[in-house]
Chain A
Amino acid sequence: MQQAIVECKNLTHYYGKRCIYENLNFEIPQGRILGLLGKNGTGKTTTINILNGYLKPRSGECLMFGESSANLSSETKRKVGLLIEGHVQYSFMNISEIEKFYSAFYPKWRKDAYYELMKLLKIDPKQKISRMSCGQRSQVALGLILAQDPELLILDDFSMGLDPGYRMLFVDYLSEYAKAENKTVFVTSHIIQDMERLIDDCLIMDYGRIVMQKPVNELLESFKRFKFNCQNPEAINEISDIYNPVTIKGNTEVYSLLAKEDLESLMRKNNVMTNEIQEESLSLEEAFIGLTGKY
């Protein structure tokens, strides 16, 4: 078991009276790429804000490199590369000015890593970030994080506003870098296809709770969709271990971590009358929908 770089213990947070989550616990192990998946409003950005000390949870605590995230020392901040939602950067600087600016703060600054990525953009080094496209800005933000050479990268909704080309470039570059340098990455995104290509572990959140935290390959090996015709679908709702059953015109679809044989015997035990059950493997996006529902 790798050492945990981030530990969140019993996090509870409310916005006014609205509960975002209660007693949330998770860890980010060293050298892993952990993806936080959740629908809008489930608390992904809230979690990232708490992690970086930009939000005080109602209770519980987050430790980053053993330090409380509410009061991170300069040394710990130096070890964390942060991508803010929307690839926000100092847009009044151009790409060479911003490189010079950040280099003053990080002793292990890797100028080459930044300019290698900038070469791909084919833009004038004097061009201001404010005049760049969203895709170009995302590469500038990523390049700055890579040059910083942090131990932990926290990327909030990195795919926001990016076209498929830039998303793929971002994912490929980040994935290669993290694997080669044994970096720890904590990432959120709305586009789950991208996450599937990038992350080792997933943490799936629904409103107020964590639905699942597992390595992606383990999840996809064990979590399946089952389709069958059912005469009494209302009986399925009573069964635990089955996620989000939906029946449309007699065709029922359920998701479960159970093996097909176990599901069949569970159905028989609960007097659910079905024809032959068909098992289907899932992509991460389908597994996400299976765990959190379509609505």
Chain B
Amino acid sequence: MTSALLFKEWKKTKWFAIGAFAVGLALLTYIFLKLGRSFRMVGLEHLWDVIVNRDQFLFRDVKYFPLATGFCLALAQFVPEMIQKRIKLSLHLPLSNRKIVFSMLGFGLLALLSIFVLHLIVILTFSVFYFPMEIIESMVYTLLPWYVAGLTAYAFTSWICLEPTWKRRIFNALLMFASLQLCFLSDFPAAYSLVVLAILLIPFYVLPFGYFSVQRFKVGIQD
């Protein structure tokens, strides 16, 4: 039964997930081509100077990709459930409501993590050929908050979609805006090295709130 639920989520989000992965790869290809051009035009010594002495980050173009992916995946997954209150169909399935909602959220989180991990693997595989471990480590700490922002955007957007009243949706959206700010406070390389684990908790803390909104929907709370 759980696999049938996951199949339903896959049917809803398949084209979006494949599209997001393809856009991510296209973005990385663009970044790699740009870097390759810089290697050739200005030389590796100059790039080294830019990275080490001027604290520039070469993958800045990736910054908003995870955020947009998390936001859009939640919309692709939960807007069809809320149109015509289709979620009633899901809640009528012979499973506990908790299992139904958490399977849906779990699927989204897993899909998003898969896209992000593959994305990071491509970046790191490229980077190990050109950069020492210290720079790669700094790169990871710079990139992670942006990917956490993607997970946070997913958790909040799914909560907003599942919430039955506009007043609370607006409140949730303001909370999302404030929480996302925490992930974009600084572009300085490795600025988040000490707090990255703390902000990583945000999406996992927010995700279960979608279940409480479904419970509110279930008792008939509406505008």
Interface 9-mer from B53-61, B80-88, B125-133, B175-183: B80-88
Interface of A is mostly: loop
Convert A218-248 into 0s and 1s, putting 1 for each residue whose CB lies closer than 8 angstroms to a CB of B: 0000000000000000000000000000000
A84 at the interface (CB under 8 A from B): yes
Q: Closest CB-CB distance, A10 to chain B, in whole Å?
A: 18
Q: State A74–B2 Cα separation when bound (angstroms).
A: 14
CB neighbours (8 Å) of B7 from chain A are 100-101
Convert A64-87 into 0s and 1s, putting 1 for each residue whose CB lies closer than 8 angstroms to a CB of B: 000000100011011010101010
Could you tell me if B96 and A74 are in contact, using CB atoms closer than 8 angstroms?
yes
Could you tell me if A53 and B218 are in contact, using CB atoms closer than 8 angstroms?
yes
B63 at the interface (CB under 8 A from A): no
Q: State A84–B4 Cα separation when bound (angstroms).
A: 21
Q: State A92–B11 Cα separation when bound (angstroms).
A: 7
B219 at the interface (CB under 8 A from A): yes
B93 at the interface (CB under 8 A from A): yes
> How large, as a class, is the contact surface on chain B?
20 to 34
Q: List B residues 68-122 near A (Cβ within 8 Å).
A: 80, 84-86, 88-89, 91-96
Q: State A89–B85 Cα separation when bound (angstroms).
A: 10
Convert A13-52 into 0s and 1s, putting 1 for each residue whose CB lies closer than 8 angstroms to a CB of B: 0000000000000000000000000000000000001001
Given A74-B95, A93-B11, A106-B94, does the pair A54, B1 have CB atoms closer than 8 Å? no
- A-B pairs, 7 with minimum CB distance: A55-B220, A104-B4, A78-B94, A56-B219, A74-B94, A77-B94, A88-B84
- Which residues in A have some Cβ–Cβ distance to B below 8 Å? 49, 52-56, 70, 74-75, 77-78, 80, 82, 84, 86, 88-93, 97, 100-102, 104-106
